[in-house]
A and B are shown apart, each in its own frame.
Chain A
Amino acid sequence: MKTVLSIANIHKSFSVGFIPQKKEILQGISFSVAEGEIFGYLGPNGAGKTTTLKCVLGLIFPDKGTIELFGRPHLDPRAKERLGFLPENPYFYDYLTAREFLEFYGQLFGIKRHERQARIAALLELVGMEKAAGLQLRKFSRGMLQRIGLAQALINEPSLVLLDEPLGGLDPLGRREIRDVIIHLREEGKTVFLSSHILQDIEMICDRVAIIVGGRIMSQGRLADLISEKILFTEVTVSGVEEKELAGLGESLTAQAGRTLLKVFEEDRIQDILELVQKRHGRIHSLIPRTQTLEDLFVDMVRPQ
């Protein structure tokens, strides 16, 4: 599969404070994104996610390392022609209406008027903003800005779409809609690079992820390879049995209204619990095996820092 974005060993430091002190934000980042995949770029706040993106876009210049887009140097306008970008907390020209805003970006790509208008209409429909087309952006809510920002990122029908925290600050419905658009993009054969700290969404849609902590890539690969399928423990909710009696069988998490939630690590113990519940004429309310989640992996990596 072709590589659309490849980053090799980039370093970036900034001088901060009144007496400037060098702070290294990126310490040798390397990864590559293949054509047609949804690539998740994960990390806690301040890990260097946005800094990496800014290096790719040419907003800042890395001290060391190389970045290639579609096999070309990343600052080459021909490479940027195939790129779409949605910034975190989108700030746009608030004096423009939604349609003027999309017109402006369409013109920057030199798209012909007739085609531009067709694309703008299609994009407004895709992000569900047809009714707000004549409204100035200053009157937009956060979610509306996110949507129009996404439309802006797609105006040139890009091959690679870079999204910085596209789901941040949205309500559950808005998140779902944007998620659907992202999946729709993959179906169209586009490559999506998604930077986020909302793990649930990443887990649901990403093919591959890279986890960045403190300016270093801690882990990268296919989600299925990173997260083990092994059952870590089983959560069992029972009632009709004294909490004391269950003490030796698992770790009791909560005991409310006669129900006890147990965290059971060994599979043999589950059989013991079932027998005990039967003997006391109690009830099993739920029995859920837990495999490792992205969140567990993430927390494990971030904690030692």
Chain B
Amino acid sequence: MIIKVIALNTFKEAVRDRILYLLLFFAAVSILFSRVLALLTVGDRTKIVKDVGLASISLFGALMAILIGTGLVYKEIEKRTIFTLISKPIRRHEFLLGKFFGLALTLFVMLLSMSVIFLALVFFQTWTIEWRMLAAIFFIFVELILLTAVAILFSCFSTPILSSLFALSFYLIGHFSWSLETLIKKARPGATRTFLQVLYTILPDLENFSLKTEVVHGLPIPASHMLYSTAYGIVYSAFILALAILIFRKRDFI
């Protein structure tokens, strides 16, 4: 109940923030721009629209999660609004989870708005509703949930600017860590290989959530992959949130 109240208030805070609409506007421009790019392309124009559209949704969704998420907890402490809140009969983890679910709800609504624009564009291109796109968008949402947890974790102990940099690094590393897999295969067995394997295990692999290639090129999506990716996202998010709660529980609010 308390988590719900805080989540709804966080949602209210986020949707009354101008930065959200600025990002939504640019996301819309970027999605629509794919149509222009498609005109300049030789070959299958629909693929360009889908590819650029999904990439835009992923990127702007990530920016929303990071830019709003990193300020959520920090602002409460900095503006001292947390003083009144903690004095109420709530537990600290309820506060943090409320913030998390509030931002998740915000991102869901934003993702929905971007998807409507995107699906409409694809519809006018192909005159069919492509439901497979929804699978790709669902995994973008799972990725955003994980990013939200990361942004909130950093927000518990660091300023928004630093947190944004950390979270952005997490995002970038997460999208390139799959190349470690290739490196592991090429490395000789020994210390280097073990080190790379440990590194690959710890680092997030956000490419798990990217179904762009499959939906754009009409490749089959194995159910096992979908299950694995969903579980991976949930477990990783829960781990990061647990870490955030651990830090937050013992913090002094000076």
Query: Which residues from 204 to 254 on chain B have a C-beta closer than 8 Å to any C-beta of chain A?
Result: 250, 252-254
Alpha-carbon distance between A107 and B250 when the two chains are bound, in angstroms: 26
A105 within 8 A of B: yes
A80 within 8 A of B: yes
Residues in A whose Cβ lies below 8 Å from that of B90? 77, 108
Query: Which residues from 87 to 109 on chain B have a C-beta closer than 8 Å to any C-beta of chain A?
Result: 87-91
Counting chain A CB atoms within 10 Å of each CB, which of B2, B82, B87, B254 scores highest? Answer: B87
Q: What is the minimal beta-carbon distance from B7 to any residue of chain A, in angstroms?
A: 11
Alpha-carbon distance between A195 and B106 when the two chains are bound, in angstroms: 39
Alpha-carbon distance between A96 and B83 when the two chains are bound, in angstroms: 17
B79 within 8 A of A: yes
Residues in A whose Cβ lies below 8 Å from that of B16? 95
Kindly report which residue of chain B lies nearest to residue A81, judged by CB atoms: B89
Alpha-carbon distance between A76 and B149 when the two chains are bound, in angstroms: 27
Q: 1/0 contact trace for A80-97 toward B, CB 8 Å?
A: 110101010111110110
Q: What is the minimal beta-carbon distance from A273 to any residue of chain B, in angstroms?
A: 55
Alpha-carbon distance between A100 and B252 when the two chains are bound, in angstroms: 28
A57 within 8 A of B: yes
A54 within 8 A of B: yes
Instruction: State which of A59, A78, A87, A100 has its C-beta within 8 Å of the C-beta of B89.
Output: A78
Contacting pair A91 B80 (CB below 8 A): yes
> How many positions in chain B have a CB within 8 Å of any CB in the partner chain?
26
Alpha-carbon distance between A54 and B89 when the two chains are bound, in angstroms: 15
Alpha-carbon distance between A59 and B251 when the two chains are bound, in angstroms: 8
A152 within 8 A of B: yes
Q: How many A-B residue pairs have CB under 8 A?
A: 73
Query: Which residues from 49 to 65 on chain A have a C-beta closer than 8 Å to any C-beta of chain B?
Result: 54, 57-61
Residues in A whose Cβ lies below 8 Å from that of B80? 87, 89, 91
Kindly report which residue of chain A lies nearest to residue B253, judged by CB atoms: A59
Alpha-carbon distance between A243 and B13 when the two chains are bound, in angstroms: 69
B132 within 8 A of A: no
A110/B1 contact (C-beta < 8 A), A61-B250, A61-B252, A91-B81 known: yes
Contacting pair B83 A107 (CB below 8 A): no
Alpha-carbon distance between A109 and B252 when the two chains are bound, in angstroms: 24
Kindly report which residue of chain B lies nearest to residue A51, judged by CB atoms: B254
Kindly report which residue of chain B lies nearest to residue A16, judged by CB atoms: B254
A104 within 8 A of B: yes
Residues in B whose Cβ lies below 8 Å from that of A14? 252, 254
Q: What is the minimal beta-carbon distance from B86 to any residue of chain A, in angstroms?
A: 5
Contacting pair B253 A60 (CB below 8 A): yes
Alpha-carbon distance between A176 and B62 when the two chains are bound, in angstroms: 51
Kindly report which residue of chain A lies nearest to residue B92, judged by CB atoms: A58
Instruction: State which of B81, B83, B89 has its C-beta within 8 Å of the C-beta of A93.
Output: B81
Counting chain B CB atoms within 10 Å of each CB, which of A59, A85, A92, A104 scores highest? Answer: A59
Residues in B whose Cβ lies below 8 Å from that of A83? 87
Q: What is the minimal beta-carbon distance from B232 to any residue of chain A, in angstroms?
A: 34
Contacting pair A87 B84 (CB below 8 A): yes
Contacting pair A80 B83 (CB below 8 A): no
Contacting pair B9 A57 (CB below 8 A): no
Residues in B whose Cβ lies below 8 Å from that of A58? 86-87
Contacting pair A95 B83 (CB below 8 A): no
Instruction: State which of B5, B83, B250 has its C-beta within 8 Å of the C-beta of A57.
Output: B83
Residues in A whose Cβ lies below 8 Å from that of B89? 77-78, 80-81, 108-109
A95/B13 contact (C-beta < 8 A), A59-B252, A105-B88 known: yes
Instruction: State which of B84, B91, B253 has its C-beta within 8 Å of the C-beta of A152.
Output: B84
Kindly report which residue of chain B lies nearest to residue A106, judged by CB atoms: B5
Contacting pair A108 B2 (CB below 8 A): yes
Alpha-carbon distance between A189 and B177 when the two chains are bound, in angstroms: 64
Q: What is the minimal beta-carbon distance from B4 to any residue of chain A, in angstroms?
A: 9
Kindly report which residue of chain B lies nearest to residue A58, judged by CB atoms: B86
Alpha-carbon distance between A110 and B2 when the two chains are bound, in angstroms: 8
Alpha-carbon distance between A81 and B88 when the two chains are bound, in angstroms: 7
Contacting pair B253 A92 (CB below 8 A): no
A96/B84 contact (C-beta < 8 A), A59-B252, A110-B1 known: no
* Interface residues of A, Cβ cutoff 8 Å to B: 14, 54, 57-61, 77-78, 80-81, 83, 85, 87, 89-93, 95-96, 100, 104-105, 107-110, 149, 152, 162
Which 3 pairs across A and B sit closest by C-beta, in order of nearness? A77-B89, A85-B87, A80-B89
| 12 additional A-B residue pairs with CB within 8 Å, beyond A59-B87, A95-B13 | A14-B254, A54-B254, A78-B89, A89-B80, A90-B84, A92-B81, A93-B13, A95-B17, A96-B12, A100-B12, A108-B5, A109-B89
14 A-B pairs in the complex with CB atoms less than 8 angstroms apart: A54-B254, A57-B86, A58-B87, A60-B254, A61-B250, A77-B91, A80-B89, A81-B89, A92-B84, A95-B12, A95-B13, A95-B17, A104-B5, A110-B2
* Interface residues of B, Cβ cutoff 8 Å to A: 1-2, 5-6, 9, 12-13, 16-17, 79-91, 250, 252-254
